[in-house]
Amino acid sequence: MNDPISTTRRSVLFALAAAPAALALPPFGRSEAMAAGSVLRAAITGYSPMGTLDPAKASIIAEFQIIWGLFETLLDFDEKMNIVPGLAESYRTLDSGDVEFKLRKGVKFHDGSVMTAEDVVFSLSRLKDPAVASPYASKLEAVKEIVAVDEHTVRLALSQPFAPLFTFLTNTRTGTQIISKKAFEKAGAEAFGRNPVGTGPFRLVDWKPNQSLTFEAHKEYHRQDFPRMATVRVPLIKEIASGVNALLGNEVDIISEAPYADLGRFKDGRQAVIRATSGLNARFVALNNKRAPFDDVHFRRALSMAFDRQTIIDAALFGQAQVAHGPIPGGLTWAYDPTIGETAKFDPDKARAELAKSKYGKDATANVLTWGSETWRRFAEIFVAQANDTLGTKLKLEVSEASTVSDRIRKKQFDAAVWGWKGFVDPDEYLDAFRTDAWRNDVSYANPEYDKVATAARVEMDQKKRRELCLAAERILEQDCPVLFSYHENVATLVRPNVQGLEVTPFGGFGAQLAAVTLK
Amino acid sequence: MNLHDIWRRARRNSTALLGLGLWLAVVAIVVFGPLVSPYDPTKMNFLSVLKPPSLAHPFGTDSYGRDVLTRVLYGAQVSLSVCIAGVAAGAVGGIGFGMVSAYLGRGYDMTLMRIADLLSAFPSFVLALLLMFALGPGALNIMAAIALCYLPSFARTSRNMTMAVKGEPFVEAAQLMGQRTSRILIMEILPIIAAALVVQASTAAAFAVILESGLSFLGLGIQPPTPTLGGIMSDGKDYFQRAPWVLTFTGLSICIALLGLNLIGDGIRDLMDPKLRKVADI
Amino acid sequence: MRRFLFYLGGRLLGAAITLIAGVSVIVLVLKLAPGDPALTALGEEATPQAVAAYRAQYHLDRPIWTQTLYALGDLARGNLGKSLTVARDLPVASLILDRLPNTAFVGLYALALAIAISLVVGTIATLRRGRLEDTVVTSAAVLGISMPDFWLSYLLILALALGLGLFPSYGFVPLGDSIPQAFLYGSLPAMAIAAPMAASFSRFLRATLLETVGQDYVVAGRALGFSEPFLFVHFVLRNALIPYVTKVGMQVSYLLGGVVVVERIFGVPGVGSLMVDGCFGRDYPLVQGCALTFVGLVLATNLFIDLVCARLDPRRAY
């Protein structure tokens, strides 16, 4: 035992005694760097893995929440969802049906280079390049050719009329954000996704994967006086409840997603202020139209009338939603039909009468798939309880975990499931999922008449006529009930009382909105 | 000293008696409470959502307007049976492994103990978490996860203790009398090592309840509408700022229930033969 | 010394085999379960073509057995692979190395708290055996191990962070950035993890001390006229050390389990929260890497404790 390191009981005893001494409590007080006020701390809450910030490749909402602050698009939405100029200061439709965009002059990228038509052509062409395999290729499917007419003019040649074109050129989940050609070619595709260069109000200075991101103001940003804050830190907070704790403890100024359940506590606005508006999303109970008992339209209709959507909104979302009777949300004002259809109204008698017409009776059973996260689990729980209460059916709740649920829905291995879409800005994106041959048609709905109407709505350029077609399509869905539309969730952000200038919009826009925020 | 001797002495040990009393009270409340409660644990009542504690609802109501106390009682039934069943399965498996391994020795011992080592190298929560992701949420899967988590420690304890006593004269006597191995293990050795295993089981059951609540926190618990203690707490943390009573009272109930279990374990431990206690490593 | 090295080598080899076999089984089971990393990485609205391209890029379209063999081959070469979803394309090893210090800091902080509390509680309980003080601290200890850790975390936040404002309610500062800040931010997570451990250490220490107090050599020491404090430190405490250190070592596995949930609640960027995210996102290489790290830590601690105990106990030889 004559080794160089001689461990004795005495030395261990000393070590044990030293451990508590080392803990002699640390000096209290916050350091300047973390102090509130100098830096805007805007957290993204919820599970949000981020892979890339290349607009043509990104696909997760969280990725876009960042992208919206780093990049801009030719067009933009205002708060009322009207299309307004963005990087294009004007645009016009030529007699040929082609569209010409005049670019804003003197716009600079984060690397200091000037944005030109070449960058626009490059950015948009990438979406159409099969080698890029962008998930947004279909957004420009009607665009035949993208040409730079001169340094500040870009022309899109269309192969056929395509109504959603302008919405797809806004700064939403579209992939049409304008990137710097030079920076992209210099960095290469993969590295650009980690070091994005755009024209947006903020530039990315730090990205700790799965932890946080840091923005700094784009010094040569083309809008005067924006952005207001020099530095923005974006922590990624996984637990929404932890997000509230962080906000109340003054560790963050903004959390992207306010937990509905807790909102009641902040009504007086002293500790935190809720900023909410109707959102662009649709939540529903997806029914597998190929499986019994959901292959029977009467059964689906009976179910649709057997639960009270408002109760779900009150109890699962604490009032933060609007009743849905079709896919198109109220946020899309021009295409929204405020009259609630018959099948979306809670009517136990009619529901039972409809069930009597069905070939399946009370003893019909099916599993309703959901996962353990707050709102979704409550939604499914209340739906199952109410439907069984009204009809006497034996629907069962099947709680799984999110990844399993999305995989099973994609593979059509489910009876029924609570499900939804978020962040779509054009009615076409909502209607598309019910086309017979659409890959997004997870519920295997098939109705040739619907296909006809939905396609007509896609190519109709006149907005009034297009609205009528959208409404007609919705009425078919109301009759067939391929899914049970339930509610459109609000977009709700929770901020500290000293946060000013945050304009919450239906389409989200997290990163872009931060440009106007100041701290009092 | 076997369980019978311990019981004789336990009557004079206040810790064990307190624990036993507490635990019996908890069991009685959990078994009979729901029969007395005027509320249904799953029936939703949207007129009385998130009501603070009152005489009518001592623990308040949850976000579906259900009486939290009633749900805690039903939830305790479910959670405790799932956890105890899981620990029992782990114990039976582990003791079987351990005793056979110790008695047969050599190759068997090596192999079985390697497997136990493998399982015990995982922090139990991490192992349970991975299993729940692989198997999916649900009562049976939680039971399986709990059983697998506690199997190695039961195996190790019973192995070490069997090793310690298998050379004793009474075992040799039984062998000379030509008794079958299985009989020797069950009739001769098991009673000797039982006390240590009871201690271990009571601690394991307590930890299992905590494990279940941790899994529910991550959304991997038992499926609603079945109430479980973890499920109620996990629901309560969603509106903790607005209605802190749901999470707080449910957690307190868990503390009291587990206090009983842990005190029993402590009491028996104090009464055990110190030599055996050392072998058992508890 | 030579025999010691042999012993060490054998232990290490056994540990490595155990470790890799165990983790491979877990990842295999996880892969067989439903859930598709492509849908996490690309979003639920990903086109079938994009999903197919993703699966091809990361070799997820191959049979699971082939994937497992490849992964084992990579492991053998010391390559943990790249993250699939949580931090796409970044090497798992660097992600873990980034976070390991944070987990280690919170874990050691918790361990130190637990040891400190247990030394005080254990000593009080032993010296005042059977009196009120003993009952109080012992009951508190038992209560400590009866608390669910995530419940305790929420109560700590409510009381100490939002109520009294003593500690931050969320967040983390790495030790490298600012030492006082790191301790400030690490306090609540460490307390939440330490509570059940402190309780279990205290109970154990009390039992061991009580046993030692009655030993003949203590009686002999007293007869020789040593003072009581001297007796306690040099005769009792010192001899209770070996079992106590062993116990502390065994609890490291429990500690690492507690880290998982607590890291998530307080936003500590550690290996535990990374693994949970990996599981949710079906990030197989990442889950594998994190599980290996956890198991490796447990095995390393066991080995370390074994060696320390061997040194502490002159009677033991290899």
Distance of residue B37 Cα from the nearest chain A Cα, in angstroms? 21
Instruction: Look at residue B98 and tell me whether its pLDDT is greater than 80.
Output: yes
User: What would the mean pLDDT of B43-56 be, rounded to a whole number?
Assistant: 87
Instruction: Look at residue B86 and tell me whether its pLDDT is greater than 90.
Output: yes
Residue A87: the pLDDT is 95
A381 in reach of chain B (CB within 8 A): yes
A407 in reach of chain C (CB within 8 A): yes
Alpha-carbon distance C241 to A464, whole Å?
84
CB spacing of A8 vs C308 below 8 angstroms: no
Q: With CA atoms as reference, report the closest residue to B143 among B193, B90, B192.
A: B90
Q: Is B3 exposed, middle or buried, given 0-12, 13-18 or 19+ CB atoms closer than 10 A?
A: middle
Q: Which among C53, C90, C312 has CB closest to A12?
A: C312
Q: Which among A262, A311, A398 has CB closest to B239?
A: A262
3-class secondary structure, B222? coil
Q: Which among C29, C155, C299 has CB closest to B121?
A: C299
Which chain A residues contact residue B50 at CB under 8 A? 264
Residue B44: the pLDDT is 86
Instruction: Look at residue A34 and tell me whether its pLDDT is greater than 60.
Output: no
Q: Are B159 and B101 in contact (CB under 8 A)?
A: yes
Q: Which among C45, C266, C267 has CB closest to A59?
A: C45
Residue A358: the pLDDT is 93
The better pLDDT of the pair A170, B222 is held by A170
Instruction: Look at residue A89 and tell me whether its pLDDT is greater than 90.
Output: yes
**Angle at the Cα of B81 from the Cα atoms of B76 and B85, rounded to 5 degrees:** 150
Instruction: Look at residue A90 and tell me whether its pLDDT is greater than 80.
Output: yes
**pLDDT tens, residue order, chain C (318 aa):** 677 778 778 777 877 777 788 788 878 888 888 888 888 888 887 888 888 888 888 888 888 888 888 888 888 888 888 999 888 889 999 999 999 999 999 999 999 999 999 999 988 888 888 778 888 888 888 888 888 888 999 999 999 999 999 999 999 999 889 999 999 999 999 999 999 889 889 888 888 888 888 788 888 888 888 888 888 888 888 888 888 888 888 888 888 888 888 999 999 999 999 999 999 889 999 999 999 899 888 888 888 887 777 777 666 544
**Lowest mean pLDDT, pick from A211-215, A347-351, C56-60, C266-270:** C56-60
CB spacing of B136 vs A401 below 8 angstroms: yes
Chains in touch with A (≥3 Cβ pairs < 8 A):
B, C
CB spacing of C39 vs A47 below 8 angstroms: no
In Å, how far are A410, A478, C280 from A50, measured between CA atoms?
21, 37, 14
Which chain B residues contact residue C211 at CB under 8 A? 274
User: What would the mean pLDDT of A316-329 be, rounded to a whole number?
Assistant: 92
CB spacing of A401 vs B137 below 8 angstroms: yes
Q: Which among C143, C253, C276 has CB closest to B123?
A: C253
User: What would the mean pLDDT of A419-426 be, rounded to a whole number?
Assistant: 89
The Cβ-side half-sphere exposure at A221, using a 13 Å CA radius, reads 23
Dihedral in degrees, nearest 10, Cα atoms A341, A347, A349, A350: 10
Question: What residues are paired with A108 via a beta bridge?
Answer: A114
Residue A30: the pLDDT is 41
The helix-helix angle for A9-22 and C92-127 (nearest 10°) equals 100
Q: Is A94 exposed, middle or buried, given 0-12, 13-18 or 19+ CB atoms closer than 10 A?
A: exposed
The better pLDDT of the pair A430, B266 is held by A430
How much is the mean pLDDT over chain B? 85
Chains in touch with B (≥3 Cβ pairs < 8 A):
A, C
In B, residues 47-76, which contact C (CB 8 Å cutoff)? none
pLDDT bucket at A1, cuts 50 / 70 / 90: very low
Q: What six digits make up the tokens of A96?
A: 């040929």
Which chain C residues contact residue A210 at CB under 8 A? 86-87, 95, 269, 274, 277
Residue C253: the pLDDT is 83
C211 in reach of chain B (CB within 8 A): yes
pLDDT bucket at B222, cuts 50 / 70 / 90: confident
| Distance from the Cα of residue B165 to its chain's centroid | 27
Which chain C residues contact residue B141 at CB under 8 A? none
CB spacing of B238 vs A265 below 8 angstroms: no
Residue A51: the pLDDT is 87
Within A99-207, residue ranges assigned H as helices are 117-128, 181-187, 189-194
Residue A32: the pLDDT is 37
CB spacing of A245 vs C161 below 8 angstroms: yes
Q: With CA atoms as reference, report the closest residue to A355 among A395, A414, A408.
A: A395
Task: Find the residue in A nearest to C318 (Cα).
Answer: A1
B177 in reach of chain C (CB within 8 A): no
The string of pLDDT tens digits covering residues A450-493 is 999 999 998 888 889 999 999 999 999 999 999 999 999 998 89
Amino acid identity at A174: T
A131 in reach of chain C (CB within 8 A): no
In B, residues 195-224, which contact C (CB 8 Å cutoff)? 206, 209-210, 213-214, 217-218
Q: With CA atoms as reference, report the closest residue to A43 among A202, A219, A255.
A: A255
The string of pLDDT tens digits covering residues A228-261 is 999 999 999 988 889 999 999 999 999 998 888 8
B125 in reach of chain C (CB within 8 A): yes
In Å, how far are B127, B182, B207, C13, C161 from B152, measured between CA atoms?
12, 21, 15, 20, 39
In B, residues 131-170, which contact C (CB 8 Å cutoff)? 131, 133-136
Give every CB contact of residue B282 below 8 A, 6+ residues apart in sequence. B157, B196, B199, B200, B203, B269
Which chain B residues contact residue C294 at CB under 8 A? 122-123, 126
DSSP summary character for residue A203: E
Give the pTM: 0.88
Which chain A residues contact residue C150 at CB under 8 A? none
CB spacing of A407 vs C161 below 8 angstroms: no
Instruction: Look at residue B76 and tell me whether its pLDDT is greater than 50.
Output: yes
pLDDT bucket at A3, cuts 50 / 70 / 90: very low
Task: Find the residue in C nearest to B205 (Cα).
Answer: C146
**Lowest mean pLDDT, pick from A223-227, B105-109, B236-240:** B105-109
Instruction: Look at residue A289 and tell me whether its pLDDT is greater than 90.
Output: yes
Which chain C residues contact residue A239 at CB under 8 A? 264-265
Alpha-carbon distance A11 to A20, whole Å?
15
Which chain A residues contact residue B218 at CB under 8 A? 372
A314 in reach of chain B (CB within 8 A): yes
The better pLDDT of the pair C135, B143 is held by B143
Q: Which among C39, C50, C274 has CB closest to A406?
A: C39
Alpha-carbon distance B266 to B275, whole Å?
16
In C, residues 213-242, which contact B (CB 8 Å cutoff)? none
How much is the mean pLDDT over chain A? 89
A12 in reach of chain C (CB within 8 A): yes
What 3 state SS string does A14-41 have? HHHHHHHHHCCCCCCCCCHHHCECCEEE
Task: Provide the number of CB pairs (under 8 Å) joining chain A to chain B.
Answer: 65
Give percent above pLDDT 90 in chain B: 23
Q: Is B36 exposed, middle or buried, given 0-12, 13-18 or 19+ CB atoms closer than 10 A?
A: exposed
Q: Tell me what ipTM this predicted complex has.
A: 0.86
3-class secondary structure, A73? coil
Dihedral in degrees, nearest 10, Cα atoms B145, B148, B150, B153: -160
Amino acid identity at A316: A
Q: Are C92 and C285 in contact (CB under 8 A)?
A: yes
Alpha-carbon distance B147 to B135, whole Å?
14
Q: What six digits make up the tokens of C63?
A: 């049979």
Instruction: Look at residue A285 and tell me whether its pLDDT is greater than 80.
Output: yes
Token pair 């509408």 is found at B225
pLDDT bucket at A11, cuts 50 / 70 / 90: low
The better pLDDT of the pair C101, A22 is held by C101
The string of pLDDT tens digits covering residues A136-172 is 888 898 899 999 999 999 999 999 888 889 999 999 9
Q: With CA atoms as reference, report the closest residue to C84 among C27, C45, C16.
A: C27
Question: What residues are paired with B232 via a beta bridge?
Answer: none
B110 in reach of chain C (CB within 8 A): no
